[in-house]
Amino acid sequence: MVTRIPVVIVGGGPAGSLLAHMLHVNGIESVVLEQRSREYVLSRIRAGLLEQGSCDLLRSLGLGERMDAEGFVHDGVTLAYAGRSFRIDYCERTGSSVRIYGQTEVQKDLYAALDADGVGVIDAAEEVAIHDIETAPYVTYQRGGEERRIDCDFVAGCDGFHGVSRETIPEAARRTYEREYPFGWLGILSETPPVSHELVYANHPRGFALCTMRHTQLSRYYVQCPLDSTLEDWPDERFWEELKARLPGAVADAIVTGPSIEKSIAPLRSFVSEPMRYGRLFLAGDAAHIVPPTGAKGLNLAIADVTYLCRALVAFYVHGSEDLLETYSDTVLARVWKAVRFSWWMTELLHRFPESGDFGQRIQVAELDYLSSSVAAQTAFAENYVGLAL
């Protein structure tokens, strides 16, 4: 079975779904191939913070109604360290804010839009393979025991770190940059009210901690943990005790505890694969880069990538220009590396690195002292956190 569609999008998460919707808005036909079922995709607990630019983009595409009604606007953040804390006001420093609105909710909105658009989303697509990306690309996959083929002009690889897209680029043409961090994040969800209406990041000699939320009765908390930790090592009682030990007393005293409804341990890494375009294959999102979650950049980088890719495809199909396609990789990588730098810096600032010893801890305190008292430093922090322009 062979069909032809101008753009094949491999991966139906937020990056792939958003690209498909944006292409439809601009009159460009596409199809989305997703390995998992819709139910599985919607069950994944992922990032929950949207930058100002991401929010503005979703609104411009008619995807902002639920986000604006249900999301939490955050005008600032609290950083705690050495028994004290301070707040950085995003609005005062940049005129912008961020919004807590879970990736699962973004995905629900995107699925609803794609259904309304009539865009083809083929789930349970197995054994996806991308062919002839330098000349006349096509994609094959298995579904229901039958091999199918789609010929196309371009392939957008939005299938994540473990997908097939990045590996399709010849190894000799790829270069990767990676930093693995010597710890993980233990995170829980609990059906409890958030301890604060804004995020609280904590640097502590025992390790990093983060207080965030999904909505008014669903809190998300994290603590830094050893890489060899298991969930069995961390019953709820131990988690709550450790979280409170790393937070300022007033914050710890205000936490409402409860049973965890989801618990996971995630390793942290910084990873970039270059280039993000090879022939007629374009990478976007986690297929090309991973950042530690400290700076809340992962989902926002994916949104930025497909925004630039959509502009390039519109320029090609509507105006007959290949200029933006040719410069896609360089354009997005310049932005990606800025986000990688900020995420790395925040991770270095707030986590306990065993190899750094007491000297490293004092350097972190000095850096936080400077950040707490410098308008220029707070402005730079806020500019990066609320997001660079799209």
Region class of 264: left (phi > 0), else alpha (psi between -120 and 50), else beta: beta
Closest by Cα among 224, 254, 203, 255 to 85: 203
Q: Kindly name the residue from 101, 138, 328, 385 that is annotated as catalytic.
A: 385
- What's the length of the chain? 390
Burial class (CB in 10 A: 0-12, 13-18, 19+), 73: middle
> Tokens 């950049």 — which residue?
297
Q: Kindly name the residue from 21, 24, 74, 351 that is annotated as catalytic.
A: 74
217: tokens are 């009765």
Q: Kindly name the residue from 181, 201, 278, 308 that is annotated as catalytic.
A: 201
128: tokens are 């996806």
Query: Alpha-carbon distance 350 to 86, whole Å?
Result: 14
Q: Which residues pair with 4 in a beta bridge?
A: 151
CA angle 238, 244, 246 (to 5 degrees): 105
- Angle formed by the axes of helices 298-319 and 52-60, nearest 10°: 40
Q: Kindly name the residue from 293, 317, 328, 351 that is annotated as catalytic.
A: 293
Strands 175-190 and 218-225: antiparallel
Query: Alpha-carbon distance 61 to 12, whole Å?
Result: 18
177 neighbors 171 (Cβ within 8 angstroms) = no
Q: Kindly name the residue from 81, 297, 328, 351 that is annotated as catalytic.
A: 297
> Tokens 């897209």 — which residue?
165
Looking at residue 159, what DSSP letter applies? S
CA angle 227, 358, 228 (to 5 degrees): 10
Active site residue 244: no
> Tokens 């996971």 — which residue?
264
Looking at residue 285, what DSSP letter applies? G
> Residues of 261-270 as b/e, b for ≥16 C-beta within 10 angstroms?
eeeebeebeb
Active site residue 201: yes
Active site residue 385: yes
Active site residue 138: no
Looking at residue 257, what DSSP letter applies? P
Which residues are designated catalytic? 74, 201, 293, 297, 385
